[in-house]
């Protein structure tokens, strides 16, 4: 069954970094983590769809388009939270007009093309953004490069602390987060500051507002 979508959609295309170096246990852990994130994204909007391809590639179709960067960061942080061997590359795109099928990998549209091509063309970066609205793409080009650099540098422990903040639909007090992780409040505050969480959070909010205003 094919559903024609005229409204803007976002497509997230990603793959695991050095997946062939993972042993069976590591692969099972990261696969479970990807599925957990995809389930969370679907809870946020029931129309969102996902696929896992050839074991080391994943894709998400996002209908709550303004939240796509939030989901992208959630993917990256969740995978890096597993430890040093784990990371991923992500290309995401926003565009109108798509033919959506039950199997995500069989769907078509400009967002799929832009995101897929971006992933294949990646060389040195691990996060890229494309948009049919070139003004929006240009506006965030440098900021996405900054975000990529920041996420590449964070530790797995810092990611472990950021992930619950990304998974909540309301602010999570640091004291509550510290209690859940079994660490001191000061440890949480220091780790999140070192990870640049305040700037990441501000960028997510700015991106969401810009998409809501222009897409």
Residues 59-93: tens digit of each pLDDT: 999 999 999 999 999 999 999 999 988 999 999 99
Task: Please state, for a pLDDT cut of 70, what percent of the chain lies above it.
Answer: 99
H or E, element range at 58: strand 57-62
Q: Are 14 and 57 in contact (CB under 8 A)?
A: yes
Strand order of the sheet with strand 2-5? Answer: 2-5, 98-101, 108-109
How many Å apart are CA 26 and CA 32, to the nearest integer? Answer: 10
For residue 100, give the 3-state DSSP assignment.
strand
CA dist 177 to 163, 181, 185, 187, 189, Å? 10, 6, 8, 11, 10
Q: Are 189 and 110 in contact (CB under 8 A)?
A: no
- pLDDT confidence of 1, banded at 50, 70, 90? low
Q: What is the pLDDT of residues 171-197, one digit of tens each?
A: 788 888 888 888 899 999 999 999 999
């Amino acid at each position: 069954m094919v559903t024609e979508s005229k409204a803007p959609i976002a497509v997230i295309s990603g793959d695991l970094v050095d997946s062939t170096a993972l042993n069976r246990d590591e692969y099972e852990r990261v696969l479970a983590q990807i599925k957990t994130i995809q389930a969370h994204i679907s809870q946020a909007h029931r129309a969102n769809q996902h696929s896992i391809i050839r074991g080391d590639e994943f894709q998400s179709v996002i209908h709550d388009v303004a939240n796509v960067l939030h989901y992208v960061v959630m993917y990256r942080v969740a995978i890096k939270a597993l430890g040093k061997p784990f990371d991923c590359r992500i290309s995401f795109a926003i565009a109108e007009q798509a033919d959506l099928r039950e199997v995500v990998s069989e769907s078509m549209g400009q967002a799929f093309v832009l995101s897929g091509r971006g992933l294949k063309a990646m060389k040195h970066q691990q996060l890229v953004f494309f948009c049919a609205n070139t003004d929006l793409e240009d506006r965030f080009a440098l900021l996405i490069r900054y975000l990529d650099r920041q996420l590449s540098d964070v530790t797995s422990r810092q990611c472990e602390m950021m992930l619950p903040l990304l998974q909540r639909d309301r602010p999570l007090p640091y004291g509550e987060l510290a209690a859940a992780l079994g660490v001191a409040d000061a440890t949480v505050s220091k780790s999140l500051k070192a990870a640049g969480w305040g700037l990441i959070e501000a960028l997510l909010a700015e991106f969401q507002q810009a998409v809501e205003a222009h897409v």
